[in-house]
Structure 1
Amino acid sequence: MTTPPTVDVHAHVLLPEVEALVAGLPGRAAAKALDARRNGPAALAVNGPMVRDRVPELTDPAVRLAAMDAQGVDVQLVSPSPSHYHHWTDEETAEKLYRLANEATAAHCSAAADRLRGLGLIPLQHPAMAVRALGHALEQGLLGVEISSHAPGRELSDPAYEPFWTRAEETGAIVFLHPFGCTLDERLDRWYLSNTVGQPVENSVALSHLIFSGVLDRHPGLKLVAAHGGGCLPTHMGRADHAWATRPDARAGCAHPPSSYLRRLYFDSLVHDPHVLRELVRVAGADRVLLGSDFPFDMGTEDPVGSLRAAGLSSADFHAVRGGNASALLCKE
């Protein structure tokens, strides 16, 4: 029996063209100030050198492929660095940005099309553009798009996104949910809490909006992949189920217990704890968990296969998560 390739669905590319596009534009300084306020000076002092040290892996396909070989990874699903979202941009700039990001990501992946598959971006802050941006990404040969957990003033449950969810479901596009920033702001501005607490919180809030609002009822065929193992939500669904069962306001938007929707979603394996990974496999199903590394950032893992092996899954589940599930997901019907 042929074993599937090892597929990492959580890997990033840095796009200098996007940053050049927004440099100096009105709103850029305020966005940087907000990012600085949310992260705090200590985190920013570490982030700059960390990213600079990884520019070759983030921009040079040859360096990326060599690193993949060292990790035992056959295929990466490459998404733009979330720092490229720039949800502060106006419609004209946002149109240029998503086109540039989609085309640059596709060009990066074309260096090794058999090993690098890509995702594009959509401007969440302008919902009316989302379907057009998704179409552009698919036209470039990308498999879908990466989105954040929210846009300013809009949650993913906002009805304005319904055309996007409909089109993503119709096309079989992958939607990769990867937060950037956290709305808890200065409460997390020390000890890198903006990431260690903020990212799991943002994942959990975004997924809860999709579940409780009925988005997943209306679009059961969505191929939605949640980064960071879905944050806190998958291992704390008992409280959500209890609320749904006892409170009419919690039950108003979705037809089934919240935990049942975990088996309609996909999750990457990047939880940094083998016990949590085992629990994620238990509650979501081994067929709904995909290998993820957050390549090449410091909050990822340099040995994604080793991290998966540490969970002690059965052989069938190990190989499903290592690559079988993702191989099926990346092959569009």
Structure 2
Amino acid sequence: MKAIMQDRYGSEDVLKLQDIEKPTAGDDDVLVQVRAAGVDQGVWHLMTGLPYPVRLAGYGVRRPKFRVRGRDVAGVVEAVGKNVTGLRPGDEVYGTCDGSFAEYALSRSGRLAPKPANLTFEQAAAVPSSACAALKGLRDAGRVKAGQNVLITGAGGGVGTYAVQIAKAFGARVTGVCGTAKVDLVRSIGADDVIDYTREDFAARARGFDLILDIAGLRSLAVLRRALTPRGTLVIAGGEGGGRWLGGTQRQLQVLALSPFVRHDLRPLMSSESTEDLQVLTGLIESGKVTPVVDRTYPLDEAPDAIRHLRAGRARGKFVVTV
């Protein structure tokens, strides 16, 4: 089968389209014939091995342990191991795995769910990691409630477009922050108000926010807290930049250190994906409350370009690789 492989850490240039052996499902595995694969920032981190703690987390210290790139997947079950229940060959599924930029990929049943009936494979592949991060940031870390004023930074990106829609589905009044090129998009997916950060500082607004979900931002905690109500909640959902060791996670560490000493509820987001959360998202999607925003699709051999364009900040919503 064909797959996007890497033998060493580095830029997109280390990725190569190669012919490799088709994987075989073990007792606890699900073998998926991949139809589409989502592109997210996590793919870049695993490709580069940055920040360095990524390598220490089991992905390989000197070279990648998992050589096929890609995490988000949508496709058809090809085979299941003897211990797998609830899925069978022929089922259309979506979720995450290790190595979705390939014609076939192995996953575990706890990382997959039936594909929403109203989505194409390309749309479904755009959901898992980004939408789960948005759901956990709002529902679990942020404990969003109906009637709250919620601010979403990075509202035009992969996680942000889901966060705007999920917050609306929970009954919040949503303000999205994005660049000029994404203002119309953020408004079109349901934001009650949109702030173009190139023209306005949201922290200067007199009206405070009950909850801020800050997605991959670089703003200081002091700036973000100025936009909160006195008892408001700030959720830091990762970050980019910050060097080879911290890689943007320094603000999450700051949140943990500062939280006991302030009235604001400061929380880092540690996201993951599960069948249960995917099923919640399926309900929102099939009810029409959440719709994936797919900016562009790339054929498998152009997956390196998809990652390159994502890092350049070009994505309005999500990029997807088709197989």
- TM-score, L = length of structure 1: 0.30
Q: Whose strand fraction is larger, Structure 1's or Structure 2's?
A: 2
TM-score by length of structure 2 reads: 0.31
More helix by share: 1
